[in-house]
A and B are shown apart, each in its own frame.
Chain A
């Protein structure tokens, strides 16, 4: 007997009835919002970044979609079932779904989308997400004609089978927008990026793609045939540009909603017709430590850094209070965060004592142990102004406890060449102790804590994965692997919380702060309400006066 998500389906069904006659304040009109960078690819299967997804989610729809607590509700699928062995998920599509060109959305389109991700010619970077599907690797390697684990049962029913029970499989399904096979299937997969569909997308989401003017904006228009009822707005424009430029445009009434840099918060707050919205995110900033060298492999040094850096001052000063410190590698508002985790106090005296006891003795201004100076390079990627400004604070804080920090600022692409180094022939090679000492970077959970796996397991140290830091911690690795196959949510939660406690103890990532996102919204725009899922979560319900 399959476990039926009857309750969830019923609940969602009743919700969807209520919203089919969407309660719009007004219907019609154009709203203009903004983002800080131009999208790169509008085909959702090509290396999506947040700036891409923000546009894609207007045009495309998926089988299921996340709720604010990151559980999932039906989207184009009206219900789903899980097999007894927990390896097969079967989704049933709603009736009468159509793409923007009027063609029906069928199980074949769903199968096409997921199968494309495993196509031998596909190189949009998302194969790994679905490599857990039975037969995906064989198809990818050219040893099979299709993915055995993707099965179309009828027009409206499709099943996915994984090689083993895979706990975060719903997040995987919920992260894939469905492409119309009759359009995207006409283009050779290895030419997808160059093809016009990558700039003029067509899906089954709430808005129909209208126009993309490079360097200026993307415009979309209401889809009358959207399954949830047409959006309240007739047209939505997403402009892109520099933070301060867009802030000025917002203040001048040329834009209805835009992200606001922290320095602009008060000007938005003081503005008569603008409202400042403070939004929680699942992204935090940390100091990465290269665990391979003699200095940073010493836990005492990492502890001293953690206690020697005044993180609260960053939150109070640089973030102007729009954020919080955090004590482990999971965002504080995510279910994986262990609320009972030991805090990290700012205590330079204790930090100095830790170093004294570990044998790091002051020699002038800088500590020395066995002839090794406690001098570290801090690599700082540009692109996040607040983060850049934390670097001199860290430097000054650590100087006080006898650690010499040299700041090296570089763009992100350059930082990557240190974290994922190459040899003289250009081949990826393992990281060495000399490649880097400390770096600043952000990390965010998009849908599931399994996303940390490649950052925390030994076999995924570069060149094989993203464990730049060199975490080699058996209990952490065991737990991370257990988290993938544990289906009971409570058990799973406890597993990740334990990872959080262990990572707090090892301080391989020294967590700094979790910033809130700020948005300025004009009085004219109703319903704008970003949350952890992103800026457009309820876009179909936005309306303008």
Chain B
């Protein structure tokens, strides 16, 4: 198994370098640069040009790329062209809030989707199945910004149960468990939106996979042996049905860190997605590239982990 994964890691490294170059070229292909957004009567074009030269924005793309990748290889992600802040600090500050939001949502989504997917698979075409399927289609069809605003309107503005936005109540300066509760309250609405859309997607896959395995001979055999239905469902059908779901989970991993732009904007959540979008509009290449690279690494890592998970879940899979 080890040589196989070494091979995969090497492959991933090559892909990363390729991604970095293509990503850099595409990012720089967007018209304009960070400084041009500063044009203002008080700023002369000579002054803009001088600043541009200091930042090396006037150099050809391959040269800028080499300089950047050299720094990154040496462990320096550089400085934001817009604010001068170290890129590592900017990303570091977003890591916690992003993981909190996306991780909470993902854990709930996964549990909910597995449960709903299995019970609907056990009773296909029942009232319950139709209900969940209908809800899932609704969840997929309604854009998340809309459900987010609807939830804010209902639960914040009308009922006053939850705050509309932000990480916590900034003016209150809570300490200890009160702060924890306050933060949890701020998490409820954004997590709900993410869970609604995420579960809607995943539950159909789980249901489909489990329904399929329920037709298999070994499931009939298990029933025939007189195993209780619940045990057959969980130990035989669900476990085998999980294989394709694992792939989807692996693909979802990058999202945990890359965040969700829409949710972060609507809920003023200081996450990675907003940082990426803002840096793209500000032509802040070092920040945008760092996030791109993190996302690319996670995609590769996600598929690698999914492969490993196959080996764990399915005893037939052996890498060698």
Tell me how far the C-beta of B242 lies from the nearest C-beta in chain A, rounded to whole angstroms. 36
B94 touches A195 (CB 8 A): no
A242 / chain B contacts, CB cutoff of 8 Å: 265-266, 268
Give bound CA distance, A349 to B69, whole Å: 61
- Tell me if B149 is interfacial: C-beta within 8 Å of chain A: yes
- Tell me if A412 is interfacial: C-beta within 8 Å of chain B: yes
Q: Report B177-197 residues with CB < 8 Å from chain A CB.
A: none
A123 touches B54 (CB 8 A): yes
Q: Report B46-80 residues with CB < 8 Å from chain A CB.
A: 46-51, 54, 58, 60, 79
Tell me how far the C-beta of B135 lies from the nearest C-beta in chain A, rounded to whole angstroms. 26
Q: Given A125-B48, A215-B94, A416-B36, are A451 and B268 neighbors across the interface (CB < 8 Å)?
A: no
Give bound CA distance, A125 to B43, whole Å: 5
B271 / chain A contacts, CB cutoff of 8 Å: 215
B157 interface neighbour in A131, A248, A416, Cβ under 8 Å = A248
Tell me how far the C-beta of B284 lies from the nearest C-beta in chain A, rounded to whole angstroms. 9
Give bound CA distance, A215 to B50, whole Å: 29
Tell me how far the C-beta of A444 lies from the nearest C-beta in chain B, rounded to whole angstroms. 9
Q: Given A246-B268, A252-B164, are A416 and B37 neighbors across the interface (CB < 8 Å)?
A: yes
- Tell me if B85 is interfacial: C-beta within 8 Å of chain A: yes
B49 touches A40 (CB 8 A): no
Q: Given A40-B82, A244-B149, are A452 and B37 neighbors across the interface (CB < 8 Å)?
A: no
B267 / chain A contacts, CB cutoff of 8 Å: 245
Q: Given A41-B84, A46-B84, A244-B149, are A252 and B163 neighbors across the interface (CB < 8 Å)?
A: yes
A98-106, A458-466, A491-499: which one contacts chain B? A458-466
- Tell me if A216 is interfacial: C-beta within 8 Å of chain B: yes
- Tell me if A198 is interfacial: C-beta within 8 Å of chain B: yes
Q: Report B101-159 residues with CB < 8 Å from chain A CB.
A: 149, 152-153, 156-157
B152 / chain A contacts, CB cutoff of 8 Å: 248
B54 / chain A contacts, CB cutoff of 8 Å: 123, 190
A455 touches B45 (CB 8 A): no
Tell me how far the C-beta of A41 lies from the nearest C-beta in chain B, rounded to whole angstroms. 6
A237 touches B170 (CB 8 A): yes
A466 touches B39 (CB 8 A): yes
B41 touches A455 (CB 8 A): yes
Q: Given A215-B93, A237-B170, A245-B164, are A126 and B43 neighbors across the interface (CB < 8 Å)?
A: yes
B149 / chain A contacts, CB cutoff of 8 Å: 244
B156 interface neighbour in A192, A214, A248, Cβ under 8 Å = A248
A198 / chain B contacts, CB cutoff of 8 Å: 83-85
- Tell me if B167 is interfacial: C-beta within 8 Å of chain A: yes
B35 / chain A contacts, CB cutoff of 8 Å: 47
A413 interface neighbour in B30, B60, B93, B156, Cβ under 8 Å = B30
Tell me how far the C-beta of B272 lies from the nearest C-beta in chain A, rounded to whole angstroms. 10
- Tell me if B165 is interfacial: C-beta within 8 Å of chain A: yes
- Tell me if A504 is interfacial: C-beta within 8 Å of chain B: no
- Tell me if A32 is interfacial: C-beta within 8 Å of chain B: yes
Give bound CA distance, A38 to B51, whole Å: 22
A466 touches B268 (CB 8 A): no
* Count of A-B residue pairs with CB < 8 Å: 175
Give bound CA distance, A194 to B274, whole Å: 22
A245 touches B268 (CB 8 A): yes
Interface mask (A282-312 → B, CB under 8 Å = 1, otherwise 0)? 0000000000000000000000000000000
A249 touches B268 (CB 8 A): yes
Q: Report B224-283 residues with CB < 8 Å from chain A CB.
A: 265-271, 274-275, 278, 281-283
Query: Which residue, of A46, A416, A417, A452, has the highest number of chain B Cβ atoms within 10 A?
Result: A416
B31 / chain A contacts, CB cutoff of 8 Å: 410, 413-414, 417
In which size bucket is the chain B interface? 35 or more
Tell me how far the C-beta of A306 lies from the nearest C-beta in chain B, rounded to whole angstroms. 24
Tell me how far the C-beta of A384 lies from the nearest C-beta in chain B, rounded to whole angstroms. 14
B153 / chain A contacts, CB cutoff of 8 Å: 248
Q: Given A190-B54, A195-B84, are A417 and B32 neighbors across the interface (CB < 8 Å)?
A: yes
B170 / chain A contacts, CB cutoff of 8 Å: 32, 216-217, 219, 237, 239
Give bound CA distance, A192 to B36, whole Å: 19
- Tell me if A446 is interfacial: C-beta within 8 Å of chain B: yes
B15 / chain A contacts, CB cutoff of 8 Å: none
A39: nearest chain-B partner, CB-CB: B83
B32 touches A416 (CB 8 A): yes
- Tell me if A26 is interfacial: C-beta within 8 Å of chain B: no
A454 / chain B contacts, CB cutoff of 8 Å: 41, 44
- Tell me if B33 is interfacial: C-beta within 8 Å of chain A: yes
A462 touches B93 (CB 8 A): no
Give bound CA distance, A31 to B170, whole Å: 10
B86 touches A417 (CB 8 A): no
A31 / chain B contacts, CB cutoff of 8 Å: 171
Q: Given A215-B275, A416-B32, are A465 and B90 neighbors across the interface (CB < 8 Å)?
A: no
- Tell me if A199 is interfacial: C-beta within 8 Å of chain B: yes
B46 touches A128 (CB 8 A): yes
- Tell me if B315 is interfacial: C-beta within 8 Å of chain A: no
- Tell me if B38 is interfacial: C-beta within 8 Å of chain A: yes
A417: nearest chain-B partner, CB-CB: B31
Residues of A whose CB lies within 8 Å of any CB of B are 30-32, 38, 40-41, 46-47, 49, 123-129, 131, 175, 190, 192-195, 198-199, 213-217, 219, 235, 237, 239-242, 244-246, 248-249, 251-252, 254, 410-414, 416-417, 420, 426, 428, 446, 451-455, 462-466
Q: Which 9 A-B residue pairings sit nearest by Cβ, starting from the closest?
A: A215-B270, A193-B84, A413-B32, A241-B268, A128-B44, A451-B41, A123-B51, A125-B43, A417-B31
16 contacts between A and B (CB under 8 A): A32-B171, A38-B278, A124-B51, A127-B47, A128-B46, A195-B84, A215-B269, A242-B265, A248-B164, A249-B163, A412-B37, A414-B32, A416-B36, A446-B41, A453-B41, A463-B45
Known: A248-B164, A249-B268. 7 other contacts (CB 8 A): A32-B171, A125-B48, A214-B94, A215-B274, A413-B37, A414-B30, A428-B45
